[in-house]
Amino acid sequence: MLNTISQILQKETLTRTDFITLLSVRSAEATQLVLDKAYQVKTETVGRKVYLRGLIELTNICAKNCFYCGIRAANIKVERYSLSVEEVLQAADFAWKNGFGSLVIQTGEQQSRAFADMIEDLLIMIHDTTNHELSVTLSCGEQELSVYERWRKAGAGRFLLRIETSNRDLYHKIHPNDNFHSFESRIKALNDLRIAGFQVGTGVMIGLPEQSIGDLADDLIFFKTMDIDMIGMGPFIEHADTPLYAKNHMLWPAHERFRMSLLMLALARITMPDINIASSTALETLDPLGRQKGLLAGANVVMPNLTPVSSRKKYQLYNNKPHLDKDAALSAASLQKIIHDIGEVIGFNEAGSSLHFKNRVGSV
């Protein structure tokens, strides 16, 4: 089996059958072969530099009712909040002065004019107060193309919109089957982001109820077909106050969801060598060394949480989210130690734009 894995990893282009074979490995030795190959590819293409994206969870107000998400609109147990302008600018100032080079603004999904105006205004203020030295990624859901174009013009350079699964049938098992939760709308939004000029990111959850190895292989093909610039994905972690929690008995064990997530990160790196890949907080939820292991599996981005501690517990998409009580300085310091300990270096004061995007459009 190890010889077969080695032979597949030497191929220039991997087929769906190859992906299924590699995702089906079970032994520690075979898994490590895949991870080592990904780290080699990472080193040779994007290097051993890790980029910091300071995460601001702006608001947990959400109009959608995705069956897996802890901040879904129908969850009446959630205490809703929106950060003030001052809180956002303080977080941006911390990122700027500590050399992060980049911010991520994440929200629940809203599609109102007031919401679009708020994001646009914040982008302008962030750039004005940080001397235009911070790049900004948005993760603010599906919008009309005109809204994406406004946000791009206001200074956002990247956008993460996760598909969660590229299997249309499975998508409708984890979302309400209505026009507001449409698979086709999600695909259109990803295409609109590209039209608007963003570095486009997406991602999936790994280990969903009823998800197959073939589904994960198709997810990797989807990333390639969509010509994605960056990926943010990780293990599915259940939330007790969601409808999908009723299917917990169908889940892979937590350690298997974690291992499969590392394999997916690795295969994404092998398949698309020059993209940006995040080592997610969800990995650390299932393994204390999760983020380090994600970096060693091919990831090159981490996102220290800059959300004020007083609001952080209110933005829980899944159970047992780590670092809810660490302030920004402590979170940043622990991440720097983690990265240093595994022999990687931090790209301080660097935007860390996707090399794939640069190659695709010829400029940043």
Q: pLDDT tens digits, the chain, 364 residues: what are they?
A: 788 999 999 999 999 999 999 999 999 999 999 999 999 999 999 999 999 999 999 999 999 999 999 999 999 999 999 999 999 999 999 999 999 999 999 999 999 999 999 999 999 999 999 999 999 999 999 999 999 999 999 999 999 999 999 999 999 999 998 999 999 999 999 999 999 999 999 999 999 999 999 999 999 999 999 999 999 999 999 999 999 999 999 999 999 999 999 999 999 999 999 999 999 999 999 999 999 999 999 999 999 999 998 898 889 888 777 777 767 776 777 778 889 999 999 999 999 999 999 999 875 4
Amino acid at 78: V
Asked whether residue 35 is domain-assigned, the answer is no
Count CB neighbours of 275 within 10 A: 25
Model confidence, pTM: 0.96
Q: Which one-letter amino acid corresponds to residue 363? A: S
Residue 306 resides in a domain: yes
pLDDT, tens digit (0-9, with 9 covering 90-100), for 142-162: 999 999 999 999 999 999 999
Q: Read off the CATH number of the domain in which 210 is found.
A: 3.20.20.70
Is 303 in contact with 55 (CB distance < 8 Å)? yes
Assess if residue 106 is contained within a domain: yes
Q: Please count the structural domains in the chain.
A: 1
Is 291 within a domain? yes
363 in a domain, yes or no?
Answer: no
Residue 154 falls within a domain, yes or no? yes
The pLDDT tens digits for 211-258 are: 999 999 999 999 999 999 999 999 999 999 999 999 999 999 999 999
Assigned domain for 34 exists: no
Q: Which residues sit opposite 154 in a β-bridge?
A: none
Domain coverage including residue 192? 40-352
Q: How many other β-carbons are positioned within 10 Å of the β-carbon of residue 61?
A: 16
User: Is 267:17 a contact under the CB 8 Å cutoff?
Assistant: no
Residue 3 placed within a domain: no
User: Rounded CA gap, 95 and 108, in Å?
Assistant: 22
| Cβ atoms of residues 92 and 129 within 8 Å | yes
